[in-house]
Structure 1
């Protein structure tokens, strides 16, 4: 679990070795092609337990489809460059079939192997090829069942990277408002878009961890950590949406070339102070577990952030009153967005 790549390599090596031994013990003609069994074992052990079953089925389906394409082409065309072109072209078209998922690439591989190596004995070759891959995949699934991957560490790393990116973005935004005033739209739109690959990476890592829990006997042992990780993901993904909306609003409205900006010199420092409180809340230990601080007598960083949002709301109301009742719709929208960030840190 602590070293997922090493764990995957160990599982793959064990499964491939077992599959080779079993392949050599199979009756002819299967025993003539024992090297296809480790292929199935590797396919099954390079993913989670739940996914390994699905991908193994998809791989076998892709192999059989490729073999059918090769046999059909061989029946009407002689083995030459034209037949290879036809086989590869048709196989690549079929590789995009959604049912095969990511295993669609095996269609072309199988078609070429059967066309070239199965000449004269296509039936025996196809049976051995597909059968040994099934045997190897079954062994790989068995190894995954005994030593299932949980993938907690990659998800933790991805979430840490997301938290650091969000803190950096909020710090930079607060610093810009304090030192430079209005935003430069192009610069902050670029920053806003640049954040989302990190968000998607964290989402994907947590999704894979959730998938790895299915049928995983080790998940019970690490139940608390899995629950905490899911909570962190919820907090950080929501925070990312909050940051995205903040930047979008500010880059669209708090810019120098607008005749009237929603914040101006009076409210910008208030918003910057609220953003500083936001970053402090995200940096605080246990930011993703409000219950852990329930018995603490002094306010937590999340509670101080919530109070800062209240102060910003009050200041926006006072600014609206001072301006003779002019609407501060965008400033109020910023408060609503920040309130969502405060709520997710305390829920």
Structure 2
């Protein structure tokens, strides 16, 4: 299937929007400032100005606390590697065996938990000091360690002054989950509107994968919560942040319930079963209840919903309950109605998750 130029352009724009432009600009600015500071630094350190922007880049993160953590861990790793090289240089001349020794010892420290992902700088720093700083290792360590420390501090200051608060990606992830839930509910309803129960293949074709979108939403929520710590922009966006967190939690509960609904229908209302869970008398009412639930989810933002849509969903669910009672009066066994009862319970729990806008106003 060919892709139109407009679709290709829209795809490229979407990919471009996902690039970390803000972080890149902050890193570039911090690196430039750090290089300037390193270049004007007096003494031997001025000969190695590029180590200052290295420290700024290493410390850079999308969150304030992440930058502080990166800065501390990277500086400790660099100084630890430098200490390993200095200790080795005191007793051995720089040779292939010496390089192997400092790399081996430094590598053993890479996985130390308190160094985090910055532990890889231990053997790197040790090798730098041993080889590049062979003539005057103490002076080189002072320049290398000192400039990276200054650069890391500049990187942290840049993030503190111009912090990110990725509310946009989190909002997009929430919308994606809501869209997947709506699509799944409607697919289930359409599957029940046929003349007979769907086959296993038909159910499989109508099954959406909620978990990938749900995981992206969880990751986006964790990122925005982490970014909000020690973030001077948090106070200004506190209401939006709290709203997004509540939306994500509500949608997560609804996703679990919809996933259970999907599994239940796939297993119980399937062609080839000796006894189907709903049958021709309950499938239409169940489909209407699922469509009403989809309309309800679509009417809100995940946290609140339209009161009219909620009332309509409750009315449709009541119609399903009445139909179940009518079938029971028709001498159906309780086992035959187990699936219908479970569906009612799950839909009712979904209805209870998001508040209507009227309820939201009453709480204010």
Q: Same fold (TM over 0.5)?
A: yes
- Residue matched to 2:68: 53
CA gap of 1:43–1:321, structure 2 versus 1, over 3 A, is: farther
Question: Number of matched residues?
Answer: 338
Asked if structure 2 preserves the Cα contact closer than 8 Å seen for 1:185 and 1:251, the reply is no
Q: Separation in 2 of the partners of 1:90 and 1:190?
A: 56
Q: CA RMSD in A?
A: 3.1
Corresponding position of 2:341: 332
| CA-CA distance at 1:128 after TM superposition | 2.7
Of the two structures, which has the highest relative contact order with CA contacts closer than 8 Å and spacing of 6 or more? 1
Contact 2:30–2:53, Cα closer than 8 Å, also in 1:
yes
Mapped contact 2:31–2:57 kept (Cα < 8 A): yes
Query: Counterpart in 2 of 1:184?
Result: 200
Q: 1:270 to 1:67 in 2, by over 3 A?
A: farther
The residue number in structure 1 matching 2:146 is: 131
Superposition pairs of residues 261-272 of structure 1, within 5 angstroms:
261-272=276-287
| Equivalent residue number for residue 309 of structure 1 | 317
Q: Aligned-pair distance for 1:278?
A: 1.8
1:168 aligns with 2:183: yes
> Runs of 5+ in structure 1 lacking a partner?
294-298
Given that residues 177 and 183 in structure 1 are in contact (C-alpha distance below 8 angstroms), is that contact kept between their aligned partners in structure 2?
no
Q: TM-score, normalised by structure 2?
A: 0.80
Q: Matches of 2:251 and 2:285 in 1, distance apart?
A: 24
Name the TM-score, length of structure 1 as normaliser.
0.84
Counterpart CA distance in 2 for 1:210 and 1:244 is 26
Matches within 5 A, 1:65-80: 65-70=80-85
3-state SS of the aligned residue for 1:259? coil
Q: Which moved more, 1:124-133 or 1:34-43?
A: 124-133
Q: Is the 8 A contact 1:188 1:247 kept in 2?
A: no
Give 3-state SS (helix, strand or coil) of 2:353's partner.
Answer: helix
Cα distance change on mapping 1:103 and 1:311 into 2, 3 Å: farther
Q: CA deviation at 1:151?
A: 0.9
1:145 Cα deviation after fit: 1.6
1:322/1:139 CA distance change after superposition, 3 Å: same
| 1:177-236: CA deviation from partner (whole Å, max 9, x where unpaired) | 2236235279649946x3212111111111111122222222222223222222221222
Where does residue 140 of structure 1 map in the other structure?
A: 155
Shift of 1:68: 4.5
Alpha-carbon distance between aligned partners in 2 of 1:271 and 1:87, rounded to the nearest angstrom: 69
